Amino acid sequence: MTNRIAVALVGASLLAVAGAQALPADRTVAVARTDDARTRAQAIVAKMSFDEKIALVHGLFPPRATGKTANELIPSAGHIDGIPRLGVPLIRESDASLGVANQVEQRKGDVATALPSSLATAASFDPDISRAGGAMIGSEARAKRFNVLLAGGVNLTRDPFNGRNFEYLGEDPLLAGEMAGAHIAGVQSNRIVSTVKHFALNAQETGRMVLDARIDEAALRESDLLAFQIAIERGRPGSVMCAYNKLNGDYACENDWLLNKVLKRDWGYRGWVMSDWGAVHSSAKAANGGLDQQSGQELDSAIFFDAPLRADIESGKVPMARLDDMVVRYLTGVIETGLFDNPVSDKLQPIPYARNALVAQRAAEAGIVLLKNDGNLLPLSGVKRIVVIGGRADVGVLSGGGSSQVRSVGGAPVEIPLASGAASSFARITYHASSPLKALRAAMPGAVIIFVDGQDKAAAADAARNADLAIVFATQWATEAQDVPDLSLPYGQDALIDAVASAQPKTAVVLETGGPVLMPWLARVPAVIQAWYPGQRGGEAIANILTGKVNPSGRLPITFMASPGQAPRAAPVGLDKLTSLEAQAAADPAQAGKFQLKTYPVDYVEGSDVGYRWYEKKRQTPLFPFGYGLSYTTFAYRNLTASGGKTLTVSFDVVNSGKRAGSDVPQVYVARDGSGTPMRLAAFQRVTLKPGESRRVTLTAEPRIVADYDTGLPGWRIKGGTYRVALAHDATDRGMTTSVKLDAATMKP
Ligand code: BGC
């Protein structure tokens, strides 16, 4: 590692800890660099032989690769040899949504800092938190010799049962796009590459390798694609990972419309498209359809981008110019992110784990959502005897499973292999070593805090009765490759909470779940905290929220339903049609080849009315709406003004009207008068205020949220006229509204 990079890395870590400072985002400079990067890439490719080009468009999956490289194969997701004579770097890819991943501890003893779930980070509504997390992960990855990170998951949550919701950023395209963009920029501030993934509409895990996601174009542009578009603009990722599923008839990784027309033509994207692992089905169709690189080749039925692609080029099915373009794009991403000029050291570098843990803790604290707090049960103060029940709170906090799994600093106090299911080949139920019980005891030295494991309901209820207050920790494990079977808490935990709440009126529930769960006991429990999967400092973060050292400020990035019937789909589509073995194979790339699997359609009938927009359209009242979250203080909005014309701008005062310092997230929702479409989140900002403090905030609406997509144009169209504007605490709040007139306008796709 050169000194220059060492300095840059220290800088990145400091920034990550200090948090609030944004990394520079000078678009003019970045665009100039892209031009330069592509020109440089073309000059390098001009010097390559045919074999050298082919070697760069397919990559190894180290756990299955067999002696094809002179370089060390580090167990991880991917490996592509470089071309030393041309300075093209060796690429080592790692999953990195929540930290440098190490699934099923394939690298024995190699730990990394684990952030909370991405959904938890989304709940902060704070791109700086997301950027700090990305910067931290990128710095650890570089120190571990990884230089392309499979991060930036931005699929919108269309279904609460999606097993990967915890890896994504919720149901709103603006929030998800902003947060993903910041994460990617953070990763790439280390002069390495991040992806954005999974492009596109990989919205459920059941049948993910075969299903055909169907939706109309305008709806897709206004929802999932908009999230990707914003993430790419903000984060400028070196690479885009195409998804497993089909989209409107064609596999995403050979989908000419998606890759060539939308991504490369309409959005002007100049980096490279890499496939998901096991997502390639052809050579000529994929290459001509816009795929630039086959990843994890051992997981596909053939190494399509080696011999078959050579043959297709020789026979003229794929133009040689297309192969050149594939490699130019690859190098453009590698050059533009700074990796080419700042190679990763071939020796492991020291990592400041103690400092990085603070980044994880801060993200967890900012993302925990206080859902209910009747009678101000929280924060805990002056309570003498507390019983903590269940959730393995004595040893740690739960994490989500699959390729994002981090082996965190401190190890895994609980690790349970799976006997069956699509995730069984690469996931285990894993806890991070951050005990809420221990953290609570340390934070409340004057209290007696006992633990019961919750296996025996009656014993838990007895312990609750004999205490002054009970805290039940309830968990729901979710993983890549499987959707959750239903939205109820598993293992009888609903009954446990009921029993405890009957015995002890002062009961708080802490939820560690992948996403929303049903809460049949809600009316009987005065306080509820949504802690998501809170990461390797989750225990400390939960204790700080419970005791009030940190004032809760998270807001739901996803609607919590009152009943499964409220959602567009009550259950994963296809699960009932597939045998359990087929279901397993249709979601696990390692097993897909074993069956002749049939494709089947999934119709996204809600179109762009995803999440809270669906609830408004259907006039349904959720359990907790998108954007919702309480605080130990109160916030008021005053003096709302809005101006229209070419741009919709809203100004208002946010006042901390309570007695504690805290953070609020004012949200601006917009809809055209008379359009009949639900209101959409057009701007938001996290604001931190001392008690009594007031701040004037001015927000500008994202124009593509105000607009509709017009396929006839083609492009975005703002219809001239009156627009309703709500300044709100959540997606259902209409306490403060106004209206403005906007000029008609159009924008490029
Ligand atoms: C996942 C990707 C991941 C890849 C490599 C796939 O199964 O869908 O998110 O990056 O594996 O591990």
Note the pLDDT tens digit of each residue in 441-478.
999 999 999 999 999 999 999 999 999 999 999 999 99
Q: Outline where 19-144 has alpha helix (H).
A: 27-45, 50-56, 118-122, 127-143
Q: Where are the alpha helices (H) located in 153-291, listed in sequence order? A: 173-188, 217-222, 224-235, 256, 284-289
Q: Which of 150, 168, 201, 300 to mutate to test the pocket of ligand 1 (most atoms within 8 A of CB)?
A: 150
Taking the CA of residue 197 as reference, the ligand 1 atom at the shortest distance is 9
Count of C-beta atoms within a 10 Å radius of residue 65:
16
Mean local confidence (pLDDT), 130-141: 98
How many A from CA of 382 to the centre of ligand 1? 48
Q: Could you identify the atom of ligand 1 that is nearest to the CA of residue 167?
A: 9
Token couple for 284: 């000529």
Which one of 276, 300, 404, 591 would you pick to mutate in the ligand 1 pocket, going by the greatest count of ligand atoms within 8 A of its CB? 276
pLDDT of residue 594: 73
Distance 579 CA to ligand 1 centre (A): 24
- Tokens for 236? 């400028």
Residue 198 Cα to ligand 1 middle (Å): 9
ω into 379 cis (within 30 of 0) = yes
CB 562, CB 459: distance < 8 Å: no
Nearest ligand 1 atom to the CA of 101 is: 12
Distance CA 183, CA 24 (A): 14
Please state the atom number of ligand 1 nearest to the C-alpha of residue 295.
5
In this structure, are residues 432 and 114 in contact, taking their beta carbons and an 8 Å threshold? Answer: yes
CB 376 within 8 A of CB 630: no
Closest-CA residue, ligand 1 atom 7, reads 277
Cβ neighbour number for residue 743 with a 10 Å cutoff: 12
The tokens 């938190």 sit on which residue? 129
* Contact yes or no for 402/423 (Cβ under 8 A): yes
Smallest CA separation from ligand 1 atom 3, residue: 403
627 pLDDT more than 80: yes
Question: Distance from the CA of 280 to the center of ligand 1, in angstroms?
Answer: 13
Work out the pLDDT band at 33, boundaries 50, 70, 90: low
- For residue 103, the ligand 1 atom closest to its alpha carbon is 12
Tell how far the Cα of 197 is from the centroid of ligand 1, in angstroms: 9
Show the 3-state SS of 421-436.
Answer: CCCCCCCEEEEECCCH
So what's the pLDDT on residue 666?
98
User: How crowded is the C-beta side of 608, counted as CA atoms within 13 Å?
Assistant: 24
CB neighbours of 231 closer than 8 A, spacing ≥ 6? Answer: 152, 154, 176, 177, 178, 180, 181, 184, 196, 237
Find the 660 Cα to ligand 1 centroid distance in Å.
43
pLDDT score of 720 more than 60:
yes
Average pLDDT over residues 726-730: 98
Cα 277 to ligand 1 centroid, rounded to whole Å: 6
Residues 46-58, mean pLDDT to the nearest whole number: 98
3-state secondary structure of 299: helix
In whole angstroms, what is the distance from residue 267 CA to residue 620 CA? 36
pLDDT of residue 67: 64
The tokens describing 528, both together, are: 């509820």
Dist CA 687 CA 699 (whole Å): 12
Pocket test for ligand 1, best of 194, 277, 293 (most atoms within 8 A of CB): 277
Contact 255, 234 (CB under 8 A): no
Sheet with 715-718, side-by-side order of all strands = 708-710, 715-718, 745-747
Ligand 1: atom nearest CA of 403 is: 12
Residue with tokens 């596999």: 251
What local confidence, expressed as pLDDT, does residue 704 receive?
98
**Alpha carbon distances (Å) from 470 to 58, 575, 630:** 55, 38, 20
As a whole number, mean pLDDT of residues 691-716 equals 98
Question: Read out DSSP for 92-120?
Answer: EEEE-SSSS--GGGSSTT--B--PPPHHH
Q: In the predicted model, what is the mean pLDDT of residues 506-525?
A: 98
pLDDT range class, residue 30, cuts 50, 70, 90: very low
User: For ligand 1, atom 11, which residue shows the shortest CA distance?
Assistant: 277
Ligand 1 center to 526 CA (angstroms): 40
Task: Specify the DSSP element, H or E, that contains 706.
Answer: helix 703-706
**pLDDT value of residue 20:** 28
Enumerate the β-bridge partners of residue 680: 670
Percent of the chain with pLDDT over 90: 91
**65-79, 391-405, 531-545: the lowest-pLDDT one:** 65-79
d(CA 731, CA 727): 10
Residue 355 alpha carbon to ligand 1 centre in Å:
28
The atom number, within ligand 1, closest to the CA of 93 reads: 5
The radius of gyration of the chain from alpha carbons, rounded to an integer in Å, stands at: 25
Contact assessment for residue 360 and residue 19, using Cβ atoms and an 8 Å cutoff: no
- Determine phi and psi for 588, rounding to 5 degrees: -110, 110
Residue with more model confidence, 177 or 3: 177
d(CA 314, CA 418): 46
**Locus of tokens 């909370």:** 116
Mutate which of 76, 95, 404 for ligand 1 pocket (most atoms within 8 A of beta carbon): 95
d(C-alpha 188, C-alpha 93), whole Å:
14
Task: Indicate the pLDDT class of residue 579, thresholds 50, 70 and 90.
Answer: confident
- Mean pLDDT to the nearest integer, 68-94: 95
| 308-349 pLDDT, tens digit each | 999 999 999 999 999 999 999 999 999 999 999 999 999 999
Protein residue closest via CA to atom 2 of ligand 1: 276
SS3 308: helix
Reported as half-sphere exposure (CB side, CA atoms, 13 A), residue 657 has a value of 8
pLDDT for 483-504, tens place per residue? 999 999 999 999 999 999 999 9
CA of 403 to the centre of ligand 1 (A): 6
Kindly give the distance from the C-alpha atom of residue 275 to the centroid of ligand 1, in angstroms, as a whole number. Answer: 9
Integer angstrom CA distances of residue 308 from 115, 301, 328, 544: 41, 12, 20, 57
Contact 612, 726 (CB under 8 A): no
In a mutational test of the pocket of ligand 1, which residue from 209, 404, 480 has the highest number of ligand atoms less than 8 Å from its CB?
480
Read off the pLDDT of each residue in 568-595 and give the average, rounded to a whole number: 85
Q: If you take atom 8 of ligand 1, which residue's CA is the nearest one? A: 276
Model confidence pLDDT, tens digit, residues 517-569? 999 999 999 999 999 999 999 999 999 999 999 999 999 999 999 998 999 99
With tokens 């991070």, the residue in question is 432
**CB–CB of 654/635 below 8 Å?**
yes
Q: Which amino acid is at 257?
A: W
- Residue with the nearest Cα to atom 9 of ligand 1? 403
CA 356, 359, 360, 362 torsion: positive or negative? positive
Closest CA to 369 of 517, 246, 257, 482: 517
What atom in ligand 1 is closest to the CA of residue 296? 5
Compute the half-sphere exposure of residue 683: CA atoms within 13 Å on the CB side of its CA.
Answer: 20
pLDDT tens-digit series, residues 341-369: 999 999 999 999 999 999 999 999 999 99
Residue 545 three-state SS: helix
Amino acid identity, position 463: A
Please report, for residues 110, 144, 190, the alpha-carbon distance to residue 74 in angstroms, rounded to integers and kept in the order given.
Answer: 11, 10, 20
Tell me the average pLDDT of the chain. 94
Residue identified by tokens 């040893």 is 395
The per-residue pLDDT for 173 is 98
pLDDT band at 69, cuts 50/70/90?
Answer: confident
Query: Distance, CA 614 to ligand 1 centroid (Å)?
Result: 29
Contact 242, 258 (CB under 8 A): yes
Identify whether the C-beta of residue 104 lies closer than 8 Å to the C-beta of residue 95.
no
List the single range of 16-20, 197-201, 298-302, 742-746 with lowest mean pLDDT.
16-20
For residue 116, give the nearest of 350, 418, 357 by alpha carbon.
357
Average pLDDT over residues 47-51: 98
Ligand 1 atom index nearest CA of 589: 7
Nearest 10 degrees: Cα torsion 419, 421, 424, 427: -120
Binding pocket residue ranges, ligand 1, CB within 6 Å: 77, 95, 150, 197-198, 276-277, 403, 589
Each residue's pLDDT tens digit, 170-205: 999 999 999 999 999 999 999 999 999 999 999 999
What's the pLDDT at 6?
28
